[in-house]
Amino acid sequence: MDLKRFFCNEKITGDYVTLDGDEFYHAVKVTRHKIGYKFIACDNGEYDYYCTITDISKNSLTAKIDKIEKNNVENDFSVNLYIGNNKDLDTVVQKATELGVSSITPFISEHCNVKDVNYDRLNKIVLESSKQCGRSKLIAINKIVSFSDAIISTENYKNFLFYEFEKQNRVEKKDLSGYKKINLFIGPEGGFSQHEIQLAKDKKIKICTLGKCIMRVSTAVVSACVLVNDKMVEIESENSNF
């Protein structure tokens, strides 16, 4: 049986870990963990802590660390998603978490038809998805910003904007060697305006295609993340052979 994964509220130090709050409730009340049961603890870092429960009290449990291993799911590079706010944000966050994204920043643009963000719900989705796919880090859901502010905040990094009317420039043809941080911009359901595309071009952001079809936002997120991840993994594999 696969070991369950739980996230601690504080950094793990010493030989024991403690679960409290919602994670304690989930471990004891939902998955029925008892003394002697094993699980994997994470503290939002690079490592998995394999533990055995030694004590359960009313509001917390204590477990002894049996071994520590570096998590093999997290990437050595970071992909940050800037997404036009939309009604499918729940699905976007779930899929982006499963695809190794490091952070998500919703933005408001000219064609956005959704203004609010439910951060509590999105953070719960991040937690559940991270457990499911074996991640050791919880991705950050950043505060919503304007599209122009999002563009300005990423000026010094490698940036790609995916535009439904761009049919030629493909990610797999771009040189990403030497970069450890990639930012992806995907528009809302209404797409980007011509003014926004020009603003992105003025800031030297690469405008790319995801293919001939116009995609739903959640589909575009999956496609963009897969393309960039594959390209980055290919580069790292080539570098490791030297």
Give the tens place of pLDDT for each residue, 209-231: 998 888 899 999 999 999 998 88
Please tell me whether residues 121 and 233 are part of one structural domain: yes
Please tell me whether residues 172 and 216 are part of one structural domain: yes
> Which are the contacts of 109, defined by CB distance < 8 A and separation ≥ 6?
84, 146, 147, 187, 188, 192, 193, 196
Please tell me whether residues 10 and 107 are part of one structural domain: no
Domain residues for 182? Answer: 78-240
Please tell me whether residues 117 and 192 are part of one structural domain: yes
**Distance between CA 114 and CA 189 in Å, rounded?**
10
Please tell me whether residues 114 and 233 are part of one structural domain: yes
pLDDT at 236: 63
pLDDT at 130: 97
Please tell me whether residues 127 and 21 are part of one structural domain: no
pLDDT at 136: 96
Residue 149 predicted with pLDDT over 60: yes
Domain end (from 29, 48, 70): 70
Lowest mean per-residue pLDDT among 3-17, 137-151, 176-190, 194-208: 176-190
pLDDT at 1: 53
One-letter identity of residue 100: G
**Distance between CA 102 and CA 52 in Å, rounded?**
29
**HEC sequence for the chain:** CCCCEEECCCCCCCCEEEEEHHHHHHHHHHCCCCCCCEEEEECCCCEEEEEEEEEECCCEEEEEEEEEEECCCCCCCEEEEEEECCCCHHHHHHHHHHCCCCEEEEEECCCCCCCCCCHHHHHHHHHHHHHHHCCCCCCEECCCEEHHHHHHHCCCCEEEEECCCCCCCEHHHCCCCCCCEEEEEECCCCCCCHHHHHHHHHCCCEEEECCCCCCCHHHHHHHHHHHHHHHHHHHHHHHHCC
pLDDT higher for 1 or 141? Answer: 141
Query: How does residue 240 score in pLDDT terms, banded at 50, 70 and 90?
Result: low
**Distance between CA 189 and CA 113 in Å, rounded?**
8
Please tell me whether residues 54 and 166 are part of one structural domain: no
Please tell me whether residues 118 and 154 are part of one structural domain: yes
Give the tens place of pLDDT for each residue, 150-191: 998 887 788 999 998 888 888 877 777 777 889 999 999 889
From residue 17, alpha-carbon distances to 6, 35, 53, 62, 123 in Å are 11, 14, 9, 6, 22
pLDDT at 172: 74
Query: Span 9-16, mean pLDDT?
Result: 93
pLDDT at 239: 63
pLDDT at 190: 87
Please tell me whether residues 52 and 88 are part of one structural domain: no
When the pLDDT of each residue in the chain is averaged and rounded to a whole number, the result is 91
Residue 50 predicted with pLDDT over 80: yes
Whether the model pTM is above 0.95: no
Query: How does residue 238 score in pLDDT terms, banded at 50, 70 and 90?
Result: low
What's the CATH number where 64 sits? 2.40.240.20
**Distance between CA 38 and CA 3 in Å, rounded?**
7
β-bridge pairing 206-208 and 158-162: parallel
Residue 24 predicted with pLDDT over 70: yes
pLDDT higher for 115 or 56? Answer: 56
Please tell me whether residues 158 and 211 are part of one structural domain: yes
**Distance between CA 68 and CA 179 in Å, rounded?**
29
What's the CATH number where 186 sits? 3.40.1280.10
Residue 2 predicted with pLDDT over 90: no
Please tell me whether residues 18 and 125 are part of one structural domain: no
> In total, how many domains does the chain have?
2
Please tell me whether residues 51 and 97 are part of one structural domain: no
